[in-house]
Amino acid sequence: MKRNNNRTAIVVGAGLGGIATAIGLRLQGYQVQIWDRNEKGGGKLQEWKKEGYRWDLGPSLLTMPEVLNDWFRLADRRIEDYLTLVPLENTCRYFWQDGKIIDEDDSFWKNPEVQSLLKYGEGIYQLSGKAYLNHPPSEFWRAFHWRNWKDLKHLPKLMSLLTLAQVVEKKIKDPYLRQLFCRYATYNGSSPYLTPSTFLIIPYVEAHFGGWYVKGGMRKLAEAFERIAMEEGVEFNYSQEAIRYENKKITSHQGIGATPDLLICNGEAIRTANTLLKGCYTEKEKNTINKPSLSSSGFIILLGVRGENKELKHHNISFTRNYPEEFKSIFEKKELPHDPTIYISITKREEGGDAPEGCENWFVLVNAPAKTNFSEEESENYREKVIQELRNRKLLLPSQRIEISRQIHAGEIAKRDLTTEGALYGWASHSIATSLFRPAMKHPREEIYFVGGSTHPGGGIPLVLLSAKMICEKILKNFS
Ligand SMILES: Cc1cc2nc3c(=O)[nH]c(=O)nc-3n(C[C@H](O)[C@H](O)[C@H](O)COP(=O)(O)OP(=O)(O)OC[C@H]3O[C@@H](n4cnc5c(N)ncnc54)[C@H](O)[C@@H]3O)c2cc1C
């Protein structure tokens, strides 16, 4: 299928979306270069190793593996030659501070209240899968094709003004399950009390396609895509930050310049519009992109723990006592939550070598405001507070001792990934407009395209890969 079309493309950013787009364009015959400011590819898919421990620093759960398979088929590769995907029997264990525990396993999804919510999400998936997830917003009309007439009955759900929390409250009586389902809003960095109920597609997808882990660590995903790109002849330029784009010429911080036929930006669309492409937008366009509120960031703590707590699974969530107050802190007060919901991932459960004998590698994540002006003292105090919470909630046992501890706050995330105030997903999805019509995938006038978590259809590994697929199809259509 590969042709040489004598056209050149530069992809700025070696996140998963950027590398996948580079592969797709190479398969269309483009000469493709990737520039990334970091020393390694993968963007948010990084890892850290110290004294016999290994931690994933970004995503920890893979959903919709079929999207991944599609990319391997497109590149004419066998996925098993590059990756081993491990299905999780228990996707997450949820803890409440009153002692209640729920496991997200097969029997959980069969609960009748849960089933009614899944049915709701299934309808959204059936309709939006055809329109929204596989096509850019300009092609929403596809949803109205006569072949979809059966699924069109779900349209009111897609356009509903109800929030995710409101629909959960209507469908579910059990207060524990209510809180559990509200947490799916955080998959795109939003509040369940503001995000549209459309996002009930997320639990449906998790139930239907399962939760997965990538053997060897989530970074293996990025490495597999990087390997295919290299085999196909994509040129990688690391430690090269694109700082200026003027008169179709892109320039790096070392003064290296190029005038590609196509520019693809994989960095966060908001920051890219305000920095690299600031000369390409009118003030009005910049105001539009800067106006919506930002998604949440994260406060991450990596712990090397001597001793084991067998009650903890691979993925665990310990809930706050007051969920509305937590989201108010993050999105209104812009403060680190006082009584946070705490996520703990221990890959040692899957991967014996990720921590020394008798030890555990804890990746601890608290949802945090997109705000970078924390002092080191504040960051240190908050780390202490979260560790104390882990002890109070009996997740970190008296018999367990912390050997290694490192925290990563929004400021560091902003610097590493070049994101606005450390936001993980660009805009928060706090309205139908900001959920369905995210920053555009193409510049209104120039041959500049956008791929990745801050553009359409949204953040998370599968969506970013769908975004790359859509960009490649759009470019193929525009130039053939
Ligand atoms: C803590 C955390 C937990 C997460 N958990 C999950 C999860 O469990 N499951 C899931 O599916 N998703 C999860 N995600 C989201 C997922 O990681 C992202 O949506 C996805 O990896 C983003 O990919 P991307 O293609 O948008 O690129 P990114 O990973 O954002 O990479 C963009 C790259 O562009 C580079 N760049 C930007 N501007 C420039 C420039 N001017 N010059 C050079 N280089 C530039 C950056 O350095 C970066 O390397 C999580 C994210 C985080 C941070």
Ligand 1 mutation pick, 10, 12, 44, max ligand atoms within 8 A of CB: 44
Note if the bond before 444 is cis, omega within 30 degrees.
no
The predicted model gives 224-231 an average pLDDT of 98
Could you tell me the distance, in angstroms and rounded to a whole number, from the CA of residue 228 to the centre of ligand 1?
Answer: 19
Answer whether 463's CB lies under 8 Å from 457's CB.
yes
Residue 473 class from Cβ within 10 Å (0-12 exposed, 13-18 middle, 19+ buried)? Answer: middle
- Average pLDDT of the chain to the nearest whole number: 95
At 298, is the secondary structure helix, strand, or coil? Answer: strand
- Atom 16 (ligand 1) nearest CA: 460
Assess whether pLDDT exceeds 70 at residue 3. no
The predicted model gives 221-244 an average pLDDT of 98
Please write the tens of the pLDDT for every residue from 353-371: 999 999 999 999 999 999 9
At 211, is the secondary structure helix, strand, or coil? Answer: coil
2 band by pLDDT with thresholds 50, 70 and 90: low
CATH fold of 105-210 reads: Guanine Nucleotide Dissociation Inhibitor; domain 1 (1.10.405)
Answer whether 388's CB lies under 8 Å from 432's CB.
no
- Atom 47 (ligand 1) nearest CA: 417
- Atom 22 (ligand 1) nearest CA: 453
User: Which atom of ligand 1 is the closest one to the Cα of 17?
Assistant: 25
Could you tell me the distance, in angstroms and rounded to a whole number, from the CA of residue 44 to the centre of ligand 1?
Answer: 4
At 449, is the secondary structure helix, strand, or coil? Answer: strand
Strand order across the 101-103 sheet: 101-103, 93-95, 315-318, 342-345, 359-368, 297-306, 401-408
- Atom 37 (ligand 1) nearest CA: 267
Q: How many residues in total does the chain contain?
A: 480
The pLDDT score that the predictor gives to residue 467 is: 97
Residue 40 class from Cβ within 10 Å (0-12 exposed, 13-18 middle, 19+ buried)? Answer: middle
Tell whether domain 8-50+59-79+216-292+430-479 is in CATH 3.90.920.20. Answer: no
| Phi and psi torsions of 385, nearest 5° | -65, -45
- Atom 2 (ligand 1) nearest CA: 58
The set of residues, in sequence order, having a beta carbon less than 8 Å from that of 273 and lying 6+ positions away, is 280, 281, 285, 286, 289, 290, 439
Q: What is the pTM of this model?
A: 0.96
Could you tell me the distance, in angstroms and rounded to a whole number, from the CA of residue 167 to the centre of ligand 1?
Answer: 30
The predicted model gives 212-239 an average pLDDT of 98
Q: Partners of 325 in the beta sheet?
A: none
Pick from 2-11, 190-199, 300-309, 319-328: least confident? 2-11
The pLDDT score that the predictor gives to residue 147 is: 74
- Atom 5 (ligand 1) nearest CA: 59
Which has the higher per-residue pLDDT, 375 or 343?
343
Could you tell me the distance, in angstroms and rounded to a whole number, from the CA of residue 59 to the centre of ligand 1?
Answer: 9
The predicted model gives 239-264 an average pLDDT of 96
User: Which atom of ligand 1 is the closest one to the Cα of 452?
Assistant: 26
- Which residues form the pocket of ligand 1, taking CB atoms under 6 Å from any ligand atom? 12-18, 35-38, 43-45, 58-61, 241-242, 266-267, 276, 298, 365, 417-418, 424, 452-453, 459-461, 464
Could you tell me the distance, in angstroms and rounded to a whole number, from the CA of residue 277 to the centre of ligand 1?
Answer: 19
Assess whether pLDDT exceeds 70 at residue 209. yes
Please write the tens of the pLDDT for every residue from 107-159: 999 999 999 999 999 988 988 876 788 888 888 777 777 777 777 777 777 77
The predicted model gives 25-53 an average pLDDT of 97
User: Which atom of ligand 1 is the closest one to the Cα of 60?
Assistant: 8
Could you tell me the distance, in angstroms and rounded to a whole number, from the CA of residue 136 to the centre of ligand 1?
Answer: 20
- Atom 48 (ligand 1) nearest CA: 43
The predicted model gives 99-104 an average pLDDT of 98
User: Which atom of ligand 1 is the closest one to the Cα of 38?
Assistant: 47
Q: Partners of 101 in the beta sheet?
A: 95
